[in-house]
Structure formats: structure tokens, C-alpha cells
Amino acid sequence: MEAYLLDWANLLIRWLHFIAGVAWIGASFYFVMLDSSLSKPARKQDEERGVTGELWAVHGGGVYQSQKFLLGPVGEPLAENLHWSKWEAYTTWLSGMGLLAVVYWFGAKTYLIDQQVMALSETSAIAISIGFLVGGWIVYNLLCKALRGKDSLLAGIIFVLVSLSAWLLFQLFSARGAFLHVGAMMGTIMAANVFFQIIPGQKRVVAQMRAGETPDAEPGIIGKQRSVHNTYFTLPVLFIMISNHYPMTYSNEHGWLVLIFIMLAGVLIRQYFVLRHSHRASPALPAIAVVLLLSMVWYLSPARIEIDDASRVSETQISQIIETRCVACHASQPTQPGFVEAPLGVVLESPELILNQAERIATTVQTKYMPIGNLTGMTDQERAQVAQWYAQLQQP
């Protein structure tokens, strides 16, 4: 019953995380587009009211006019009914932490720890996980304060920081867990930017406007900087959110480097769209991103296996490997703690069932996606034998 309830918790929290993430990213993308697309007010009286930019848009059968007041309206009170974009961010982060707890903390032995990478206890693994999330924000925030006004240098150092974190996490956790924690660290930075910098700064500015004071420009400058960082983190974080379904991206001895290349491609694609809003986009940006992604497709492509009689693997050998390493989970009645039914309904209790799932077995075993967390201790030699067996099946 416990495993069944955990599956439901996983599903429902994941759904909430997805919904909140769509709302947060949608709002973020919209305001980046709006800010980048503003033009000088067409009417002089709007300029006199304090309007610094405006955008006319059409959507859903209506025409909309958006106006930006950098320091609030001149000669008139600020509207009481202000919309604040914050709960989307908070809900996304909180649901993400809930999902992290359910899957990677509660199931640390299965999903977070890989004994072949580092022999961690569950308590140590969870402590390291939390440390990366908190420490990532602290280091990032200190860098932002220390390098105020040096945005290009700051961006370069943040990239190095994220890359170093990816490499280090791959030395500590399972490949899947390492990927996820890079995204969780970046997502924590994004949410903390909203909670600790953007929203408090906006509240101070609004309070000054309502008091009839000239707003301090500093909170706006800081908020703008953190919003820019958040928008460039977005596509890499989204990739990491879906990457656990594609083990060929992380189950590689240089998985951390693969992640860096794919994240860089995401940043370049996001930069293209940011510049496109102000009609300054260069097609070189997505072109470089495509080259990076294609280079990863080539790099991760499976190696060709040479077949000879001396290295042939028998069905009996494969059945023994599957029985020893896989059937604890992939059985009609799993014996592995935490599993109430075979994952994805894949049962491997007979040679016929194994043969029916040959391609799936070969792919998941070669990428080290299975056995999950390598709980049953499958060796590299056994993985090679599975690959050899599948290559034999492909012979005419």
C-alpha cells in the first residue's frame, strides 16, 4: 500500500509541478517579450503621464494596449488593483521540492545513490542534495552582489559554476540524480531570485510610489538583472525536467559534459528569441545551437558491435542475467521493496517474454538506465553480454 500511495503522490505532485511551471514560464516569457517590444509612446500626453514605452497587441478577438511606467504614473495615484507574478514561481518550486522529496529523498537508495559511483548512506545523500540547493543559491547571490555592473563577467562565472556543479554531482550521485539536481539547483536560484530580490524590490518601489516619493531605481536594476538570469535558465531547466525519460543523455561516462552542451544550446535558443522581440536576432544563434545538439546526437550514438562465434551469447546466459538482475522488479509479483507491480508492465519471467522485450532490454541496460539505481549490481561485463546478444538477434 505504501508504494501504491507513493506512486499517486508522485503523479499528483508532478502534475501540479507541471501546471505551475507552465504558468510561471508563460508569465516570464510574456513579460520578457513585452519589455523587449516596447516602443516610444505615440501620444505626448502619455509621455507626460510617465509612460516610458508601450505595445499594442491583438489576441483572442481583442486589441490590447500595454504601457510601462518606469517610476509610476505622474500626477495620479498608483492603481490599487495590481497584479503580482509570484505565486506561479513559489508553487513551481514548492511542488518541485515535494517531487524531489518523494522520488529522490524517500527513494534515495533507488534513484539517487549509485554505489558504483560513490557508496553513500541515504542520510549523507540527502544532506548533500540539500547542501547543493542551498549552497548554489548562496554562492550565486554573493557573486551577483560582488560583480554588480559586470554582467558579462558574471554570466561567464555563473556558467562555470553550473558546469562545475554538473561535473561534481556526477561524482556523487547516480547519473539520473545528478542531472535532476543540476536542474533543481538552477530552479532554486530562479525561485529565490523572485522571493528574495524581485518581489521585495517591487514592494519597496510600490510603497514609495504610494507615498508620493521618487522611487529608488536600485531595486528595479537588481530585479531586472535577476529576471534576465531567470529567463536564460528556463530552457536548460525544462530540458532537465524531461531528461529522465531519455537515459541516452545522462547514462554516459561524460554525461555532465553532454548536459553542459545541451544547456548551452538552450541558452542560445533563448537568446535568439529575446533578441527577436526587439528585431535584433541573428540566425547564427539557433544555427550554433543545432550544431551543438547534432554533435550530441553523433557523440551519443551506439557503438557498432562486432559479432564472432567466440563472443556469441546464449539464451541461457541472457536468461541467467535477467533472472539475477532484473526479475526482482520485472515480475508478475515483484520481490524488490517499493515495487507493487512490474515497471511499465514489463514482465521478464520467461525466455519468450525476454525475447519480446529484447530491444527495450538492450537499450535500457546499455544506457545504464536499468536496473534502476543498479540495485542488483549488474556488472559492465553483463551489460556487454546483453548488447552482444541483441546484436546477434539483428543478424539476418
Reported as a single tens digit per residue, the pLDDT across 288-328 is 999 999 999 999 887 777 766 667 888 889 999 999 999 99
3-state class of 39 per DSSP? Answer: strand
Domain ranges of the chain: 38-69, 83-267, 309-393
Q: Closest Cα to residue 248, out of 299, 288, 182?
A: 299
pLDDT of 153 reads: 97
Lowest-confidence pick of 294-308, 325-339, 380-394: 294-308
| C-alpha cell recorded at residue 309 | 562465434
pLDDT tens digits, 40-53: 999 999 999 999 99
Q: What are the backbone angles phi and psi of residue 66, rounded to the nearest 5°?
A: -105, 135
Residues 261-287: what's their mean pLDDT?
Answer: 95
Q: Is the pLDDT of residue 352 over 80?
A: yes
Task: Report CA 366 to chain centroid distance, whole Å.
Answer: 24
**How much is the pTM?**
0.88
pLDDT of 1 reads: 60
pLDDT of 240 reads: 95
Could you give the CA distance from residue 60 to residue 286 in angstroms, rounded to a whole number?
Answer: 30
pLDDT tens digits, 49-75: 999 999 999 999 899 999 999 888 988
Pair 208, 216: CB distance under 8 Å:
yes
Residues 114-120: what's their mean pLDDT?
Answer: 89
- The mean pLDDT value of the chain amounts to 91
Task: Report CA 232 to chain centroid distance, whole Å.
Answer: 12
Could you give the CA distance from residue 16 to residue 35 in angstroms, rounded to a whole number?
Answer: 29
Question: What is the DSSP annotation of 49-117?
Answer: TTEEEEEEEEETTEEEEEEEESS--TTSPPPS------HHHHHHHHHHHHHHIIIIITTIIIII--TTT
3-state class of 330 per DSSP? Answer: coil
pLDDT top residue among 84 and 344: 84
pLDDT tens digits, 22-35: 999 999 999 999 99
Pair 381, 316: CB distance under 8 Å:
no
pLDDT of 310 reads: 63
Neighbours of 143 (CB within 10 A): 14
